Amino acid sequence: MNLEAVTSNQHPVLPAAASAKAGNKQQQNQNLSMMKSIIKEIQQQNSLMERPGATTEKESVKKTGTSRRDFLKKGALGGIALGGLMHMSVEDTIAQTTSKVSRASSPSDLKITDMRVAVVGNVGRTAIIRIDTNQGIYGLGEVRDGADERYALMLKSRILGLNPCNVEMIFRIIRQFGYHGRQGGGVCAVEMALWDLCGKAYGVPAWQLLGGRYRDKIRLYADTPGANDPVAFAQTMKRRVEEQGFTWLKMDLGIHVVAKETDTIVNSKFWDGAAGQYDLRDYMGYGNTLHPFTQVQITEKGLEGLAEYVEQVRNAVGYEMPLCADHFGHFDINNSIRFGRAMEKYRLAWLEDMVPWFYTDQWKTVSDALETPTCTGEDIYLLKNGFKPLLDARAVDIIQPDLATSGGLLETKRIGDYAEECGVAMAMHMAGTPVTFMANVHCAAATQNFLALEHHSVDSPWWGNLVKMTGSQPMVTNGFANVPLDSPGLGIELNEEEVKKHLHPRAKGYFEPTPEWDDKRSHDRLWS
């Protein structure tokens, strides 16, 4: 349907005979009667279409011979201006007669008009962004967990007025404002929202825009925080399998589970106790110091304690289940290798983030020394100058991008495709809300060498309620995410009431206006 013709300020031209007399009353009455009859018929069709098992408009046209296009054609030929239809305004008339037409019926005319934020209390704090358009449709994205929403808001002035369907072009404009770690969160949030918008505009799922899908279900691995009691922890992991249906498990296997025992950690007093990689008391503390510079070591007693931990889990879930380990702690490569060799008899699926990702040579040293696969990537931004050096050197066995840092959906697919060429598999890290989760699902569906996607909020009773699935499938079924097959974009809409319940205590509100970010105040070009 050409809505431009309908919404034009120019009304359809009256036939010469009618216009000559400023409207023949009899002719007008006949035309009005015809219009009313057609509208009534369309209303009846709309009512039928809204019922379960309703026929499509195409099927209805075959049966009745009437469609909205026929209505507009007859209206023009009948010689009645739409503005005069039953004394309704042009806007009201169009709203009635096109009530079933997609508001995104003209993707080439889409323009970004606004960006707003709602910060929820997920994994500390996570900002959901909404990008609005001139056609009433919007896209959802998410700034990575623990990142500042201003990483995204600063991009608003750089994308206003642009067509959101030009995803690649906009990404090239904004990618310079991202970086490794949480600093990539703003660019990735915008990129997510653009694919959501583009999919809605064209009426297709995001995976279709990425080239199609390899799979209909996405294997999830359940992230599980560590506990001091290895037996109790093993039972938790067993429930993941038997009650929740997971077929891949990850455990927080770091020094924090043994650090309180005597003689497990060497040189910990230097740090006033090295409690683990999440000890972020100050900038110069253990948790904020790069691995080679801590001088902390683990003793044989410490290794035995960690081995008992893993053994209890293996006894509970068996060896048929892939089992991987999260951060070990901040140790040099010698202690990383000692730890890895102590774990080899348990045949773990991977050891994660043993050394900082940018120490390519150290990663290769560790990987070459161990039989257990090594894995890193959650803090890396982009393929170039990020994942590519690791992959070119074959320094790790598995890459693990976090889509909310790595560059968004398309860049992550590129990373996965390049890894595939290098013979390296790709797992995906995720600790955000269902918005990022579903973005990952679409990307995983479109990437051949994908292994498994992290589900970080398995134990949160409200996490899944933050969104509503717009298709016919639930989000997760028995440890697998369902790829949306019959809903556009990311396949979700926010559950507004639920999101409002879980706003961060310091959130400014629910998608409040952000006019202070409308104006660009810098010259961004990187070359002369």
Q: What is the CATH number of the domain that holds 136?
A: 3.30.390.10
Mean pLDDT of 102-113: 80
Given a contact cutoff of 8 angstroms between Cβ atoms, the answer to whether 180 and 188 are in contact is no
Each residue's pLDDT tens digit, 228-238: 788 999 999 99
Is 122 found in the same domain as 48? no
Which of 74, 97, 120 delimits the end of a domain?
97
Residue 283 is predicted with a pLDDT of 83
Other beta carbons within 10 angstroms of residue 349's beta carbon come to 21
Spell out the SS3 assignment of 379-416.
CCCCHHHHHHHHHHCCCCCEECCEHHHHCCHHHHHHHH
Is 175 found in the same domain as 40? no
In angstroms, the CA 10 to CA 185 distance is: 46
Is 489 found in the same domain as 437? yes
Could you tell me if residue 520 is inside a domain? Answer: no
How far are the Cα atoms of 198, 202, 438, 445 from residue 442, in angstroms, in the given order?
A: 14, 16, 6, 5
Is 59 found in the same domain as 117? no
Query: Which domain covers residue 292, as residue numbers?
Result: 209-494
Quick check: pTM over 0.85?
no
Which run of H or of E encompasses 420? helix 409-421
DSSP conformation class of 20: H
Those residues whose C-beta lies under 8 Å from the C-beta of residue 243, and which sit 6 or more positions away, are none
Going by pLDDT thresholds of 50, 70 and 90, the confidence category of residue 275 is low
Helices (H), 245-382: 300-317, 333-343, 360-369
Average pLDDT along the chain: 85
Residue 47 is predicted with a pLDDT of 52
Q: Tokens 């892939």 appear where?
A: 322
Given a contact cutoff of 8 angstroms between Cβ atoms, the answer to whether 29 and 37 are in contact is no
Q: In the chain, how many domains are there?
A: 3
Could you tell me if residue 247 is inside a domain? Answer: yes
Could you tell me if residue 427 is inside a domain? Answer: yes
Does position 477 have pLDDT exceeding 60, yes or no?
yes
Q: Tokens 């075959």 appear where?
A: 62
Each residue's pLDDT tens digit, 491-524: 999 999 999 999 999 999 999 999 999 999 999 9
Each residue's pLDDT tens digit, 208-224: 999 999 999 999 999 88
Q: Tokens 């910990």 appear where?
A: 268
Query: How many residues in the chain?
Result: 528
In angstroms, the CA 209 to CA 103 distance is: 19
Given a contact cutoff of 8 angstroms between Cβ atoms, the answer to whether 490 and 435 are in contact is yes
Q: How far apart are the first and last CA of the chain?
A: 46
Q: Pick from 122, 208, 159: which is nearest to 487 by CA?
A: 208
Lookup: tokens for 103: 């508001």
Could you tell me if residue 505 is inside a domain? Answer: no
Residue 79 is predicted with a pLDDT of 34
DSSP-assigned beta bridge partners for residue 114: 132
Q: Which residue type, as a one-letter code, is found at position 202?
A: Y
Q: What is the CA radius of gyration of the chain?
A: 28
Is 245 found in the same domain as 392? yes
Each residue's pLDDT tens digit, 304-362: 999 999 999 999 999 999 999 998 899 999 999 999 999 999 999 999 999 999 999 99
Q: Tokens 């929202």 appear where?
A: 193
Is 472 found in the same domain as 329? yes
Could you tell me if residue 168 is inside a domain? Answer: yes
Lookup: tokens for 319: 């060896």
Each residue's pLDDT tens digit, 441-464: 999 999 999 999 999 999 999 999
In angstroms, the CA 468 to CA 504 distance is: 20
